[in-house]
Structures are given as C-alpha cells and as structure tokens.
Copies of this chain bind each other. A is one copy, B any other.
Amino acid sequence: MRAILVILILCSVFVSASASEPRPLSLMPMPAEVQTKTGQLLIDTSFTVGISGHSDLQLQRAVERFLDNLRRQTGMPPLDMKVTDAAQAKLVVHSEHASKAAQELGEDESYSLEVSPSGAKLDAATPLGIMRGLETFLQLVQTTSDGFAVPAIAIRDQPRFPWRGLMIDVGRHFIPLDVLKRNLDGMAAVKLNVFHWHLSENQGFRIESKKFPKLQEMGSDGLYYTQDEVRDLIAYAHDRGIRVVPEFDMPGHSTAWFIGYPELASGPGPYQIERKWGVFDPAMDPTRERTYKFLDGFIGEMSQLFPDQYFHIGGDEVNGKQWDANPNIQAFMRAHGLKTNQDLQAYFNTRVQKIVSKHGKTMVGWDEILRPDLPKDIVVQSWRGQDSLAAAAKQGYRGILSFGYYVDLMWPASRHYAVDPVSDAAANLSPDEKKLILGGEACMWSEYVSPENIDSRIWPRTAAIAERLWSPQNVTEVNSMYQRLAEVSRRLDWLGLTHNASYGPMLRRIAGSNDISALRTFTDVVEPVKDYSREELAVVEATSLSPLNRVIDAARPESATVRHFASLVDALIAGHADSEVEQEIKALLMLWRDNQSNLQVLEGQSFLLKEIVPLSQDLTAVATTGMQALSYMERGEHAPAAWATEQFAVLEEAQKPKAQLLLMVVPSLQKLVEASSGQKAPPPPPEK
C-alpha cells in the first residue's frame, strides 16, 4: 500500500502541483511520503523557530545551525530569524524525548513535516529525527516571485536502512580536520549517519596514541589527529546525527604501525612509511602473544576515545608473503592445525574479536573476516557484493554494502544509484535475513585525492548513494535523480564544500593563466579513467608524494556537459528535436571543433597542458565528424558507407584513454554517425 502511495506522490511532485507552484521539488534523498498542497509559507526576516516538547543542547544547536544555514541560503543578516516561543513561531519543532548520549545504530530517525501558508510543524521522536526534518525543510526553500518560500506540503519520512555511511581513507593521503568537518556537513545535508574513519594504512598512521606514541610519531610524517581533535570531530558529528566508526586495518595494510613497533610485524624489518600504492607484504604476526597484548592496550585506548558501539578492524587484503617466509609462523600453523593463511587470519580475527568485545565494542570488518567461528554480533562490510552479503546473512551475520559505492572509481552517479543492497542473491533472502542487511557506505579511497579535490570526488555523487540508502526501494528514476542531484550539488556550496569551487582555480593553475575558457571547454567533456585504470595507464608510477595538479585531478568524475549533449543527440535521433536542439548541438560541436586552436595559445606556457594535446586534437576530430554527420542529416542525405567507416576509425581512436582521461562525447557522436549513415559502428574491443 505504501509503495503505491509513494509512486502517486512522486508523479505529482514532478509534474507540478499547482499554477502558483510550478517548480519541481529538489528533495534528496526523496522522503518516503510526500504530499504537495496549495500555497506556500513565506520565509522572510520575520521567520522564527520555536521548540515545543523536549529540549536539550543537541536540539538547540541543531536549530541554531538550521537558522545559520537558512540565513546563508537566503542572505539574511544574523539578527533575523530568531528562536522564539513555540506559541508564536513560524516553524514549531517538537521532539518527544532526547536522543541517546552516544548515538546508536537503529535509533529512530523518522519525522513528519507539515507546511501550510501560515506555518510549519516538524515532529519527531528524538532530536535525530528533527535534524533529518530540518534538512528537508532547507531543501524545500526556494526563491519565488513573492520571496523565499517553502511550498505547502505534508511529509512523513523515515530511512530504509539504519546504516548509511561515508568512509574516508585518511591513511593514504592525510585529510585535515576542517575538510572532514565540511564533509560531515555535506553528509548531514543528505541524511547520512555514519562517518567511517579509515585511520591507518601502509602510508600513514593518523591518530595520536598516548599509550604507543611511536605509532604517530614515526608512522605519520607528522600528519595525524590529536586525541583532542578526534574528540572535537566526534562531537561535531554527534551534533549532526552522525556516528563515528574508527577503522584500524589489521593484520595487513599496517606498515605504518611497524616503523615505531617493528616487533608487531611478521618480517624482520626495518620498516619505512610506504609511498607507493597497492597491496604490500608487511602484516602483523598473529602467532605471538605480545601482538595481542599490544592490540589489547591499543584497542582499549581507542575504545575509550570513540564512543560508538562499533569498532572496525579492517581485515582485508593480506597477501600472506611475510607469513610464508617466517619459519616460526609456519611452525605455529603446523602446531595449531592451521592449514592456510586464511585459517591463520581467522585465528587472528577470533583473538582480536575477543579483545574488541572485552572493551565493550562490536567488531566490524571487511568481507575477508567472515569465518563461521566468529560470534554472530559482528558486522561484515562487503566490498565484494550483494551475494557475499547474502551469504553472510544466511549464516546470521549482519552486513553493510560498499561494493558498488566506491566513489574513487569515477563511476557516474547513475551506476552507484542502481546498486541496491538488497538485490542479486540478497533479493531472495527471507524477510528476517533481509533485516540483517543494515545498509551501505560510500567509500572514498584516497590514492588520488588532496584537500583540494577530495570534495569533487565525494560530491555530488554520494548524494545519489545517500538516496539509495534512505529512500524507498522504488525511487529509481534516473532523470529525476540527476535533476535533483544538480540542485543538491549547488546547495552544498553554501556549506563550504569545494566540489564546485575548486574547479576554476585548479584549471587556472594548469593553464598558468586566468583565461581558462579553452581549457574549461576541454575539461568539461573529459572524465578521469574508470576503476583502476589510472594505475594501469600511468607513465610514471604515482606515489603519495606525487602532485595532484593535473587535468585528471581537476576533471569531474562525471561530466554534466556530456550528459546534456547525449540527451540532445538522443532527442535528435529519436526525432523529438526542435530546431533549438539542433542549433545547440551544432553550437557545441563548433565550440569543440575550434577549441584546440584556442588551447594552443596556452600550450606553450604550461607543462601541465602538454599531455592533453592529443586528446584535444581528438576532440577537434570527433566534433568535425559530428558536424559532417549533422550536415548529411540536415540535407536528408544518406552518408556514404566509406565515410562512415572512416569516421568510426576516428571515433575508435578518440575513445582510447590519453593522459588517463576519457573523451566522453564519443558515444553520442558514434550514434550520430550511425544515424546519418545507417551503418553500425564496429563492436568495441574486448575489455581487458
């Protein structure tokens, strides 16, 4: 029944509700139930908020933050828009009771929001639900012909999954606290509720240990968070309804531990901070008691610092080479009947789980930790997929999905959006087994991010993942998603996120000039290569010391220009295009065709531009192809087969990655050649 209601409502939201209210709502994630009504509530300097029912500091800060954001969005001065008595307030916020002191998995986040032309009411069980509802309210604020306003509306909303996370890897590249904070603001804006903090890696140990200070002193290049900073970040997150789950990856991914404490390792050492990327040999020695004594001390210290119930021990990608090479470890395995390295790691996990549990925490780990001898309260985070989650659930283990949500792989938002935690094998689970699937996490692995470009890798695409994890399963319309994603992206600008703001300055640096129009035209139609092709296509091996100042580092993971162009071409080919569409296609093709000659002016003055010349020449070539195809179509002529064959070769060449970039307009141009000639493009070469 609810599913049908949602569908009906979605239609009304997007078709447009009334004459006075013509614009679509840009809610993201889409609430569970939305009913638009007639009229709107004006938001002017007299706007006020009142708290009725339960009140506490967390709630009051949430309301103040809401007002700050509302002022920022509307440009109102700090003296306007006050908190007042609930009796007089334009927006009345009513929370039944307090949230938990340490936010818990599965805490009630539901809320209901009623807006009429005379006022608004936001109800929730706890401040957590109020926070979610306040974000919805902010997304509803529009500039209208009468002033800023929120349309009259009734919303009932709750999340589909209780665990909706973003992981940031601060090990491979250190990410400063202020960058994390603005990303927490972004998370709160799209109702994500778990910040998974990947704190240790081969390339860096990023947190202060008072018990084992050589961890950060020798393992971080000085780039780590003090415990005061960690507490500050946890409080910041808690104020935004976000849990903080720390991860300390073990027994692998742990070189940085061994520089200060080589006795933890399975090989002789000495160790250095790893500068390269990949999977490396060093691993903890699971056979010595002093390893567990150390971990007991360390996990105990960290369990005190992090209030969250969950504690992530990583557990992924141990290549086993150090274990194979160590005769003591081999002897231990024989003595204990451990046949494989997987068995040894399972032994290690069992021991570590007992330590985690002793300190009052519940263990989380990546797929590899799953072995039947672990207790059922652990949580498996799957980078392998829904089938792996389903297998875990069938054994009674809870899981969260990260397969399909790796934002470092430069996928389009639509591809992440299509990944549902309860699909594939998981779709066939029993209702009770399905409940074991807690949600998912977007993952920002940080080989190629700096404070300057990390936001552009996380946002706005992570908002699409947030919608997948919050909204009803049947909210899947891709065009609607993209339309709302564009709005959300710009709203995130107000929070200080730099995914849009950093583009221009990075291009100006590359150009060595303030005139970046040609470089921008080029960079607007390329994307970084996908998946792990950046490594495969590297001319010089990248390390943690490589500057991230190339076109690939500035280029957006997903080009809005290309998506727009593709929709124009599709309309043209489908015969839906009016002359304006045709004109726009032609204007874009002309711009691209002539761009290389404009870019040439800059080339001589920047070493960072040299590598893009071949692809920029390809852009000229394929745009020329497109214009020829268009001109055949305009004249109503069939393009000759020989011409088509020639153009397909041009396009095939242009589709090859260059400078680790992909020219994303090629598929649409291929369609144009096909449409103009009636010829079919040759099949793409098989993927490696």
Asked if A434 is at the interface (CB within 8 A of a chain B CB), the reply is no
A521 at the interface (CB under 8 A from B): no
Asked whether A450 and B75 contact (CB < 8 A) given A142-B512, A493-B505, the answer is: yes
Q: Is the CB of B505 within 8 A of A45?
A: no
Size band of the A side of the interface?
35 or more
Whether B78 contacts A547 by the Cβ 8 Å rule is no
Instruction: Produce 1/0 per residue, A6-39, CB < 8 A to B.
Output: 0000000000000000110000000000000000
* Chain A 603-619 interface residues, beta-carbon cutoff 8 Å to B: 604-608, 610
Chain B residues with CB under 8 A of A23: 605
A486-B514, A514-B486, A514-B487 are known contacts. Are A223 and B78 too (CB-CB below 8 A)?
yes
Q: Does A642 contact B (CB under 8 A)?
A: no
A490 to chain B, nearest CB (A): 5
Q: Knowing A45-B545, A545-B79 are in contact, say whether A509-B607 is a contact too (CB < 8 A).
A: no
Contact B546 A510 (CB under 8 A): no
Flag whether A553 is at the interface (Cβ < 8 A): yes
The interface residues of chain B lying within 8 Å CB-to-CB of A547 are 45, 74-77, 80
Docked Cα-Cα span, A181 to B608, in Å, equals 32
Stretch at the interface among A144-152, A278-286, A626-634: A144-152
Return chain B residues, CB-CB under 8 Å to A486.
Answer: 514
* Cα(A4)–Cα(B223), bound, Å: 51
What distance in Å separates the Cβ of A457 from its nearest Cβ neighbour in chain B? 15
The smallest C-beta distance from A502 to any residue of chain B, in angstroms, reads: 10
Given A487-B514, A490-B514, is A76 in contact with B146 using a C-beta cutoff of 8 Å? Answer: no
Interface centre among A493, A506, A607 (most CB of B within 10 A): A607
Once the chains bind, are A548 and B75 in contact (CB under 8 Å)?
yes
Q: Are B545 and A510 touching (Cβ within 8 A)?
A: no
A501-540, CB under 8 A of B: which get 1 and which 0?
Answer: 1000110111111100000000000000000000000000
A60 at the B interface (CB under 8 A): no
Residues in B whose Cβ lies below 8 Å from that of A514: 486-487, 490
- The yes or no answer to A174 lying at the interface (CB within 8 A) is yes
Residues of B near A490 (CB, < 8 A) are 505, 508, 514
Residue among B22, B75, B512, B607 making CB contact with A506, cutoff 8 Å: B75
Residue of B nearest to A80 (CB): B545
With a cutoff of 8 Å between Cβ atoms, the chain B residues found around residue A221 in the complex are: 78-79
Residues from 538 to 578 in A contacting B, C-beta threshold 8 Å: 544-549, 553
Task: Check B145 against A605 for contact (C-beta < 8 Å).
Answer: yes
A480 CB–B CB distance under 8 Å: no
Neighbouring B residues of A143 by C-beta, 8 Å: 509-513, 605-608
In the bound complex, residues from chain B placing their C-beta under 8 Å from that of A362 are none
| Chain B residues positioned under 8 Å from A467 (CB to CB) | none
Say how far A561's CB is from chain B's closest CB, in angstroms.
13
B144 and A509 within 8 A (CB): no
A607 touching B75, Cβ below 8 Å: no
Report A465 CB to chain B, min CB distance, Å.
21
Asked whether, in the complex, the Cβ of B146 is within 8 Å of the Cβ of A607, the reply is yes
Smallest Cβ distance from A227 to chain B, in angstroms? 21
Residue of B nearest to A548 (CB): B75
Copies in the complex: 2
* A606 & B144 in contact (Cβ 8 Å cutoff): yes
User: Which B residues touch A79, using CB under 8 A?
Assistant: 221, 223, 544-545
Nearest CB of B to A149, in Å: 9
Pick the contact of A548: B77, B173, B511 (CB < 8 A). Answer: B77
| A367 lies within 8 A of chain B by Cβ | no
CA A74 to CA B548, docked complex, whole Å: 9
In the assembled complex, A249 has its CB within 8 A of some CB on chain B: no
**A78 partner, pick from B174, B505, B549, beta carbons under 8 A:** B174
Report yes or no: B509 in contact with A549, Cβ–Cβ below 8 A. Answer: no
A9 to B612, CA, bound (A): 37
CA of A606 to CA of B486, assembled, Å: 19
Find chain B residues with CB under 8 A from A509 CB: 73-75, 143
Proximity bits, A412-456, B CB within 8 Å = 1, else 0 = 000000000000000000000000000000000000001010000
Task: Name which of A145, A487, A608 has the most chain B CB atoms within 10 A of its CB.
Answer: A145
**A332: interface (CB < 8 Å):** no
The closest CB in chain B to the CB of A452 belongs to B75
A145 with B606: CB separation less than 8 A = yes
A494 at the interface (CB under 8 A from B): yes
B-chain residues with CB within 8 Å of residue A74 when the two chains form the complex: 509, 547, 549
In the bound complex, residues from chain B placing their C-beta under 8 Å from that of A512 are: 142-144
Interface string of A479-504 (1 = CB under 8 A from B): 00000001100100110000001000
In the bound complex, what is the Cα–Cα distance between A452 and B493 (angstroms)? 13
Chain B residues near A545 (CB-CB < 8 A)? 45, 77, 79-80
| Min C-beta distance of A480 to chain B, whole Å | 16
| Shortest distance between the CB of A22 and any CB in chain B (Å) | 8
Counting chain B CB atoms within 10 Å of each CB, the highest count among A78, A508, A511 belongs to A78
Residue of B nearest to A26 (CB): B514
Q: Is the CB of A144 within 8 A of B605?
A: yes
In the complex, the answer to whether B511 meets A505 with C-beta atoms within 8 Å is no
Alpha-carbon distance between A450 and B79 when the two chains are bound, in angstroms: 12
Q: A79-B223, A493-B505, A501-B501 are in contact. List 11 more A-B contacts (CB 8 A).
A: A74-B509, A77-B450, A77-B546, A77-B547, A77-B548, A78-B174, A78-B221, A80-B545, A142-B605, A145-B604, A145-B607
CB<8 Å pairs between A and B, sample of 26: A45-B545, A73-B509, A74-B549, A75-B506, A75-B547, A75-B548, A76-B547, A77-B545, A77-B546, A78-B174, A78-B221, A78-B223, A79-B545, A143-B511, A143-B512, A143-B605, A143-B607, A144-B512, A144-B605, A144-B606, A145-B607, A487-B514, A490-B505, A493-B505, A493-B508, A494-B505
List the 10 closest A-B pairs by CB distance, nearest first.
Answer: A143-B512, A75-B549, A143-B606, A76-B547, A147-B607, A490-B514, A75-B547, A493-B505, A501-B501, A79-B221
